[in-house]
Amino acid sequence: MRKLLLCIWLLTTCICLPALAQEVTVSGRVSSSEDGTALPGVSVQLKGTTRGTTTDADGNYRLNAPATGRLVFSFIGFKSQEVAVGNQSTITISLSADAANLDEVIVTTFGTAKRTSFTGSAGTLAPTQFQTRGVSNIGQALSGAISGVQTTASTGQPGASPDIRIRGFGSISSGNDPLYVVDGIPYSGNISNISPNDIESISVLKDAASTALYGSRAANGVVVVTTKKGQKDRSTINVRYTKGLSTRGLPEYDRVGVGEYYPLMWETYRNSIAYRATNPVALATANADATSRLISLVGYNAYNVPDNQVVDVNGQMNPNAQLRFSADDLNWEKPIMRQGNRDELNVSFAGGQNKSDYFLSLSYLNDKGYLIRSDFERITGRLNINSQMKPWLRTGANLGVTLTKSNQADAGGTAGSTTFVNPFFFSRNIGPIYPVYAYDPNNPGQFLTLPNGNRRWDYGNLTALGLPARPQFGGRHSVAETVLNQNYFRRNVLSARGFAELSFLQDFKFTANIGTDITNYNGYTYGNPEIGDGAPAGRASHEFQNISSYNLNQLLNYNKSFGKNNFDVLVGHENFQVGDNNLEGSRSQQILDGNYELVNFTTTTNLASVAFQRRVEGFFSRINYDYDQKYFLSASVRRDGSSKFYRDTRWGNFYSVSGAWRLDQEDFLRAIPTISAMKLRASYGQTGNDGGGNTGQSAQDNTISYYAWQPLYGLGWNNASEAGILQTSLGNQNLAWESSNAFDVALEFSLFKGRVSGTVEYFDRRSSNLIFAVPLPLSAGISTVTRNIGTMYNRGIEVELGLEPIRTKNFTWRLDLNATRIKNNITKMPDENPEIIDGTKKLAVGRSIYDYWLREFKGVNPANGEVEYRAANFVATNSRITEAGDTLTNSINNARFHYNGTAIPALSGGFTNTFRYKGLSLSALFVYQLGGKTYDGAYAALMSSGGYGSAKSTDILRRWRNPGDITDVPRMDAGRTGDFDAQSDRWLIDASYMNLRSVTLSYSLPNALARKLFLENAQVYVSGENLLILSGRKGMNVQQQFNGVTGNVFSPAKTLVLGVSFTL
């Protein structure tokens, strides 16, 4: 940290240059033309630069500007106004209402477009919407902000990026991630490499008219990120610092305590012998046997009474029993949880001279998660230089460097895991009677200690020391393994962009862009020799990866107006290639403690390397036409070739057509005073998807993905010293592009002088030629072959609405909300495999990709407490149970499967309330989902009817206990867990939720006060993330995955940050 601060100080000293151009001080007042009231918070910007200020609570502003400059006044809900400075020292402005914000500039494919002339569908996100929040990447910022965009909640692991989907799911087996474009070049790195402080704008392109020019990589939408640029004629320094704290954002599931646990385990054993099908034991005998055997079954006696007196023969706890352990001794979460700590510092320098500008930033983020061994440290630097070298030549370069270090909690990634090393799985599922540390069996109340004086962890298998053994998780210890193991990575990223723009023949412009993204990744894991997977000798694995991508495009623009006819023509070429080289090795038998290099281990257990390459080349053209800024037409075409396919199918053609009509410019609407603006637009087009490689896949799957048209062979199938090669996949020279045909129509409007504005949009996105791994007969020797078989559609409605219920001189209240409804449906499947079961889902025609296919749970038999399922049609009569005319069964083998709901919600979106009073601002973002279902596998594990030593949900206290009980929870029975706990729709729950994603309270100093402090502006703020999450069940993370299945993931963090920013 000291080194970073020293570097920042030196850069401040060297770079902060005085203005070179003659300037004047301009001041004035900005008001509403409607009623003359002052407008606070209006942006006053020197055109062509990032220099600017905002009006204070009384609408006043003050700004230094060159006499040759032009000031742009803009404010949400009002038309922007541009004024030349000249020799004026006072400029007073009246802004007229226009909530449609039709002058907004959107960063689109290979350029920008004004909202007035844009015929496609796009959502935008400004830095003011996320830079005062405690977010680490743009994925977190997008949640709930734009209609049609869905995100997962990511995990609590610091630095983790959420998954993003735009308008549903475009493919079944290929990727569904959007394309990321940074400063005009497709980005191949991780989005967590980009500091939010460096971002000038984010645009999300959603329809074919917006994305078709990106061709094969844009089938799932495009996220366009534009980084900040410098300002001419003056140097400024901006400093932003935040300090934050984090805790667990979701509470744990409710689980039974010690006193309730022993009777449950007693009942689990008693029922298993009293109700077994063969030689059942009389109830009285079973009761006595359960009392005497209870502690031998669970292993530990947490009370100060003899083992056979903990629970009596009636299944009741001994009232005289006292706990031998404290609550902390039995708490497996407390030793691995801490208060997270977050520090972030950003310093940026911006300036330039008359013909050039620069922007330089340095950012440092140190985010220590609330789980020990989880942290994320990132240093980012960015330099952006632009120069007007000649009247006809403009050039620029943008260089970004990111250095990341992270310790990863072993929580199984996005889907979680049930491995013993996962601290969330272990602490959630271990019974409440087991202590974290080992008690001395000969000295009650004392712990066993190690030679260094530390308490010894209880591994659940220390019988040699006189301790009992655990029936669950014996020989494992999540606290010890989290402390002693290592899971670490270092990632260094270089992103470079450069361009040269030549203007000639008055109306022509040629631009050449080049970009590269280079990622070097070094990760290692270490399993200690004392406990867990690395025992008894220790083991380590190292991975080295280099991902390098290069992109080159050339653009020729022609822009010409003939009277009221305006043309903008683009012709271009693009070449993209990416390479992924990976080397990994594992060794065991550790020699020295504390050294995790492979040379410190003697036995090689794995050594492998793999390399992939992918290339895409495209030729494209687009024409935009408008008549009198009232009628707009646009058409584009692109031809792409991908190395994924054989030469005969390598090239694909993609296109789009779109149009817009500004109804508010027509005479028949101008006469209606309530309509301020209105535009109708529509588009249709086709994009492609080559499913081209995913660095998150296994080596074999990725190899097939990159080279699907070729037959592939595996090396290393050796017989002693004889080398062996095995064919691993069949090539398919007919394999071709997946295609996505998208239709979109929308109405944009502004009413009541800007008080109400919004967009209502319908889309229909149809995917065809879906790539499937089609199964082959066993005689083929290879399990599957990749083919183009399958079609699917996503259609839906998006609504965005902006309301300004109150707008006075000192106070405004604005409400922005969005809602999206999506329907997904498969319309064709492979003939060889028309139905594919995938875990809790079944893919079939007429169903969505996330429709649940599960046993039909019908309840619990009141007579004996057994689970009852709806019986399948083939079940023999003697295996059926008939109740109230229903044919049921208690066997999972005879149960009927059926479709029961989908993981896709009926409605999703977000809404933001923003209140401003003079310099104070309060905003709250809520993210919501209505409908859909979640398969709560984590809860199902806690509801198991057996499992000596495993934790139980408090809902299991509603279990069946006596004949005649009416309940939906079966009896405890260790012998029937297979039937009682099986996958069924019993574990489905409504997936609706409400998340108070972000709350921010900020205060901006009045301009007069800021100037007295030698500042241009200053702001202090406090912000919270994930402050409240409401769902159908405590502890359940509904936002975990798009497929609706919960796991034992790193629970999301609740974060509170305090920040300050100022400009010198």
342 - beta bridge partners? 244, 367
- Identify the weakest region by mean pLDDT among 80-94, 106-120, 375-389: 106-120
pLDDT of residue 815 exceeding 50:
yes
- Secondary structure letter of residue 100 according to DSSP: T
Q: How confident is the model at residue 12 (pLDDT cuts 50, 70, 90)?
A: very low
- At residue 598, the pLDDT reads 94
pLDDT of residue 387 exceeding 70:
yes
Q: Which two tokens stand for residue 283?
A: 């109830």
- Average pLDDT in the 4-12 region? 41
Q: How confident is the model at residue 445 (pLDDT cuts 50, 70, 90)?
A: confident
Q: Say how far apart CA 23 and CA 89 lie, in whole Å.
A: 11
Task: Give the angle subtended at the CA of 196 by the CAs of 192 and 198, to the nearest 5°.
Answer: 115
pLDDT of residue 1057 exceeding 90:
yes
Among 213, 150, 205, 158, which Cα is nearest to 180's?
205
Tell me how far CA of residue 595 lies from CA of 182, 450, 488, 527, in angstroms.
39, 22, 14, 12
pLDDT of residue 34 exceeding 70:
no
What is the per-residue pLDDT across 624-655, written as a single tens digit (0 to 9) for each? 999 988 999 999 999 999 988 989 999 999 99
- Report the SS3 class of residue 525: strand
What is the per-residue pLDDT across 500-528, written as a single tens digit (0 to 9) for each? 999 998 889 999 999 999 999 999 999 99
Whether the CB-CB separation of 613 and 730 falls below 8 Å is answered with: no
Task: Give the angle subtended at the CA of 699 by the CAs of 696 and 700, to the nearest 5°.
Answer: 120
Q: Say how far apart CA 796 and CA 121 lie, in whole Å.
A: 14
- Identify the weakest region by mean pLDDT among 36-50, 320-334, 812-826: 36-50
Q: Say how far apart CA 551 and CA 572 lie, in whole Å.
A: 13
Task: Give the angle subtended at the CA of 373 by the CAs of 372 and 379, to the nearest 5°.
Answer: 120
Q: How confident is the model at residue 406 (pLDDT cuts 50, 70, 90)?
A: very high
Q: How confident is the model at residue 703 (pLDDT cuts 50, 70, 90)?
A: low
- At residue 11, the pLDDT reads 40
- Report the SS3 class of residue 845: coil
- At residue 1046, the pLDDT reads 84
User: Between residues 501 and 1016, which one has the greater pLDDT?
Assistant: 501
- At residue 883, the pLDDT reads 57
* CATH entry 3.20.10.10 includes domain 1-96: no
- Identify the weakest region by mean pLDDT among 132-136, 604-608, 711-715: 711-715
Q: Say how far apart CA 641 and CA 690 lie, in whole Å.
A: 10
Q: How confident is the model at residue 411 (pLDDT cuts 50, 70, 90)?
A: low
- At residue 765, the pLDDT reads 94
Question: Mean pLDDT of all residues in the chain?
Answer: 88
Tell me which range, 190-194, 720-724, 947-951, is most confidently predicted by mean pLDDT: 947-951
pLDDT of residue 704 exceeding 70:
no
Burial of 873 (0-12, 13-18, 19+ CB in 10 A): exposed
- At residue 879, the pLDDT reads 54
Whether the CB-CB separation of 1005 and 957 falls below 8 Å is answered with: no
Helix pair angle (283-298, 258-274), 10° resolution? 130
What is the per-residue pLDDT across 172-213, written as a single tens digit (0 to 9) for each? 877 788 999 998 899 988 888 899 999 988 999 999 888 988
- Looking at the chain, the domain(s) classified CATH 2.60.40.1120 span 1-96
The single-letter code of the amino acid at 245 is L
- Average pLDDT in the 765-783 region? 84
Tell me which range, 21-30, 71-80, 407-416, 1042-1051, is most confidently predicted by mean pLDDT: 1042-1051
- Secondary structure letter of residue 735 according to DSSP: -
User: Between residues 53 and 287, which one has the greater pLDDT?
Assistant: 287
Q: Which H or E element spans position 874?
A: none
Q: How confident is the model at residue 48 (pLDDT cuts 50, 70, 90)?
A: low
Q: Which two tokens stand for residue 62?
A: 């003050």
Q: How confident is the model at residue 219 (pLDDT cuts 50, 70, 90)?
A: confident
pLDDT of residue 1001 exceeding 80:
yes
Q: How confident is the model at residue 65 (pLDDT cuts 50, 70, 90)?
A: confident
pLDDT of residue 723 exceeding 90:
no
- Average pLDDT in the 743-747 region? 96
Residue 1007: phi and psi, rounded to 5, are -60, -40
pLDDT of residue 494 exceeding 50:
yes
Among 548, 610, 550, 567, which Cα is nearest to 585's?
610
Residue 889: phi and psi, rounded to 5, are -150, 155
Residue 220: phi and psi, rounded to 5, are -105, 20
- Secondary structure letter of residue 198 according to DSSP: G
Q: Which two tokens stand for residue 784?
A: 């599957």
Q: Which two tokens stand for residue 442?
A: 């000969």
pLDDT of residue 100 exceeding 80:
no
Whether the CB-CB separation of 1055 and 244 falls below 8 Å is answered with: yes
Q: What is the pTM for the complete model shown? A: 0.86
pLDDT of residue 14 exceeding 70:
no
Three-state SS annotation for 680-691 = EEEEEEEEEECC
- At residue 877, the pLDDT reads 54
